[in-house]
Amino acid sequence: MKPRIGITTFFDRKPHKQYCMVSDHYVRSVRMAGGLPLLLPITSDTDEVFEYLDTLDGLLLSGGEDLSPLLYGENPLPQVQDICPQRDGFEIPLVQEALERDLPMLGICRGMQVMNVATGGTLYQDLFSQLKGALGHLPRKMAVEALYHTVTPEEGSLVAEMFGTEPLAVNSFHHQAVKTPGKGFQVTALSTEDRVVEAMEYGEKAFCMAVQWHAEDLTVDHPHFLKLFKALVEASRKKP
């Protein structure tokens, strides 16, 4: 049986209706890696969060809106304009319970930020106004599969085992980023020049890592990025 990989969704508000959605690139990447993708609708019911996790072998936290700065004790800067409290309220306990259960987990972009805040870390609300010397991380006209800047993996890390320690070209679509790492997480890749956190790993867990770039958009044109999803799926096969 294929490992069941839960993928978090976001609200898409359209006239008269609201939808729970996610990019098909996450679904496609999980399938390419040998997993069975299952979409997780947002819920405010904690019991449902636990029931979701009861059915899953692994968890993939997708990208999307900014996290509310209230979650890490700050009020929002003007640059923070797209927050979904319902999604925040769903994903924070989802991550905390998944960590408690040692469920294999991969975070992408916002997903990494959620994992960080769920473990007591903080974020740059807006890189470009809060981090001196920040370079480009949010191009406006780039194709999602286009490589934009480089990151440098830390020697001895899982991300270095996958991609080596030389600068790795990635895509990039974010203005928030990890500031103070959450408890248990180790920073394992930084953007090559401005030293923004680009990958984290939780070494005491069976498989728990996150990347800031959108790897799901790269797995067709740049198939070496499928290694991230294969690692999640393989760890999920071994779940007790």
pLDDT band at 214 (very low <50, low <70, confident <90, very high): very high
The catalytically annotated residue of 91, 198, 201, 216 is 216
Those residues whose C-beta lies under 8 Å from the C-beta of residue 139, and which sit 6 or more positions away, are 148, 172, 173
In the chain, domain spans? 4-121+181-188+198-237
Fill in the amino acid letter for 228. Answer: L
CATH number of 4-121+181-188+198-237: 3.40.50.880
109 an active-site residue? yes
16 an active-site residue? no
Digit-coded pLDDT (tens) for 127-172: 999 999 999 999 999 999 999 999 999 999 999 999 999 999 999 9
- Give the mean model confidence (pLDDT) for residues 50-63: 97
Those residues whose C-beta lies under 8 Å from the C-beta of residue 180, and which sit 6 or more positions away, are 121, 122
The pair of three-digit structure tokens given for residue 91, joined into one six-digit string: 């994903």
214 an active-site residue? yes
Rounded percentage of the chain residues whose pLDDT exceeds 70: 99
Is the full-model pTM beyond 0.75?
yes
Digit-coded pLDDT (tens) for 89-127: 999 999 999 999 999 999 999 999 999 999 999 999 999
Q: What Å distances lie between residue 187 and 100, 143, 159, 182, CA to CA?
A: 20, 27, 10, 10
pLDDT at 240 over 80: no
The catalytically annotated residue of 84, 109, 137, 198 is 109
CB 59 within 8 A of CB 3: no
What is the per-residue pLDDT for 16? Answer: 87
